[in-house]
Structure 1
Amino acid sequence: MQATAYTFDPQTRSGSVLLDDGTPLSFDGAAFDAGGLRLLRVGQRVRIELAATDSGEQRVTLVTLQTF
């Protein structure tokens, strides 16, 4: 799934993305590290992977750059 980087904190390696419909989703440092990135700029297009939590909510498990 594609999204746009909305916020990013390089200290914690966490932030948020906006889906194409405008829905914000947060990600943690583990999801950022899983993508192998070193830095993320606000506005960059990214590819994310989601997984359902026990409560049924969607959680970002991977953030990486969108390549064409």
Structure 2
Amino acid sequence: MQASIHTFDESDGFGSALLDDGREVTFTGRVFAASTLRHVRPGQRVSIVLGPDATTVTRLWIVGIGPEQPIR
């Protein structure tokens, strides 16, 4: 699923993203650190996986960055 970064706190890696239907979901610093990204900016498109509660992100990445993520 894709979303757009809404907020991002560089100091702790916590942030939120907006789904295409307008819902806001959050991600923790731990999820951001696991993404191996160094920074994201508001409006940036990312791919995400939501947890069972459908309000928190369990995985975050940008297609084309990271192992097995070829740019097409």
Instruction: State the TM-score bracket (shorter-chain normalisation).
Output: 0.7 to 0.9
Match of 1:30 in 2: 30
Larger strand proportion, structure 1 or 2? 1
Question: Deviation digits for residues 10-62 of structure 1, max 9, x if unmatched?
Answer: 0010100000000000110111112110000111000011121xxxx222111
- Per the normalisation by structure 1, the TM-score is 0.85
Q: Give RMSD over aligned pairs.
A: 1.2
Tell me if the contact between 1:3 and 1:48 (Cα under 8 Å) persists in the aligned partners: yes
Structure 2 unmatched ranges of 5 or more: 65-71
- Per the normalisation by structure 2, the TM-score is 0.80
Q: Which has the higher contact order (CA 8 A, sep 6+)?
A: 1
Tell me if the contact between 1:16 and 1:27 (Cα under 8 Å) persists in the aligned partners: yes
